[in-house]
Amino acid sequence: MRNWSAKRGGSDPRYVSKMDANEVALVRSLETSLIELLDEREASAPFDELAELTGLRTGHVEAPGEGALGRLLPDFYRVEHAGPDGVSPEFAEDLNSALRSLNEPEIIDAKRDAARTVLRTLPAKSGTVSLTTAEAQDWLTSINDLRLALGTLLGVTADRPDGRPSTDPARAAHVDMYHWLSAMLDVLVTVMLDRTPEKP
């Protein structure tokens, strides 16, 4: 993938890059898997009679057990912050349950919509990606979600930028994929923060 650039075009710049066929196929596969993961989470939410009567959408009251999804849908309040100087652990858990039930459906919607924007704006096979500001922001959201999910599966931390040690030869490709997503995100953020777009 070539570096992103901002092209002046009317009142809203376009954020442009080129992707080869392998890159397009990779991003399409990752985004499709992300949508499927979010769909499964949404579909598994328990039935709520009050929500059915009021039309209010509700989601799970418990955090996802699976690592990658847990990273994408974290608790709102960290229970470890509870204690003498804060709320009780029990209240923190109840608070998380209530906030999750009320807000998780909209969070899933936002993440899924961002992933769909990426899929919609990818070239069919290879070629140019050209994004409006709103589309570029969706790319930032969704590429970061992919990066977080993959990094969680690999065990990436500040001390282990390549994740947990492994002898699995396929894992090296996943680590490369993680760093590629990170670089794509970093360059796009930098270009969007630059207020001097190139002329077409």
Asked if the model's pLDDT at residue 45 lies above 80, the reply is yes
The answer to the question of residue 70 being in a domain is: no
The answer to the question of residue 180 being in a domain is: yes
Residue 172 token pair: 């090296």
Q: Contact 195/154 with Cβ under 8 angstroms?
A: no
Q: Which amino acid is at 93?
A: E
Q: What is the mean pLDDT of the chain?
A: 88
pTM score of the predicted model: 0.87
Whole-angstrom CA distances from 163 to 30, 33, 156 are 19, 21, 4
Quote the domain boundaries for residue 124.
5-50+104-193
Asked if the model's pLDDT at residue 180 lies above 80, the reply is yes
Q: What is the largest CA-CA distance in the chain?
A: 59
Count of structural domains, the chain: 1
The answer to the question of residue 36 being in a domain is: yes
The answer to the question of residue 184 being in a domain is: yes
Q: Contact 139/131 with Cβ under 8 angstroms?
A: yes
196: which residues sit within 8 A by CB, 6+ positions away?
none
The answer to the question of residue 141 being in a domain is: yes
The answer to the question of residue 68 being in a domain is: no
Average pLDDT over residues 57-78: 87
The answer to the question of residue 170 being in a domain is: yes
The answer to the question of residue 65 being in a domain is: no
Determine the Cα–Cα distance for residues 130 and 13; give it in Å rounded to an integer: 10
